[in-house]
């Protein structure tokens, strides 16, 4: 069993950060909640057309004004707080613990 990176709250509680490793852009609605709550500038809104594996099979987004989708701008800057997942209405995020060095 490997040990994971841990942190300590001001009150002394030990917790294990869970860092964002993936963002499912197919489910993302571009609401920006994760962008607003992230304290580390990990995310960026991009045009939906820039998403490589996105295809609109059913024409769901043809008439939508929402042509934006979230992307991972700087995942290496994530502090593992999981605030993005807590505010995401579409459960777009995957998080993982990091093994201690």
The answer for 80, left when phi > 0, alpha when psi is -120 to 50, beta otherwise, is left
Distance CA 97, CA 13 (A): 17
Let me know: does 45 contact 70? Beta carbons within 8 Å.
yes
Q: What is the CATH number of domain 7-53+63-96?
A: 3.30.70.20
Each domain of the chain, given as residue ranges in start order, spans: 7-53+63-96
- pLDDT tens by residue, the chain, 101 residues: 459 999 999 999 999 999 999 999 999 999 999 999 999 999 999 998 767 655 555 555 554 555 899 999 999 999 999 999 999 999 999 999 999 98
With the C-alpha atoms ordered 19, 21, 27, 32, is the resulting torsion angle positive or negative? positive
For 51-77, the DSSP string reads -TT---TT-TTSS-S--EEEEES-GGG
């Amino acid at each position: 069993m490997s040990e994971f990176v841990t942190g300590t709250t001001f009150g002394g509680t030990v917790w294990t950060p869970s860092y964002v490793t993936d963002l499912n852009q197919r489910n993302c609605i571009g609401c920006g909640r994760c962008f607003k709550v992230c304290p580390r500038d990990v995310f960026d809104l991009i045009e939906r057309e820039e998403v490589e594996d996105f295809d609109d099979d059913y024409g769901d987004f043809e008439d939508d004004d929402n042509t934006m989708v979230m992307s991972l701008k700087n995942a290496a800057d994530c502090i593992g707080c999981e605030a993005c997942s807590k505010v995401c209405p579409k459960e777009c995020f995957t998080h993982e613990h990091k093994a201690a060095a």
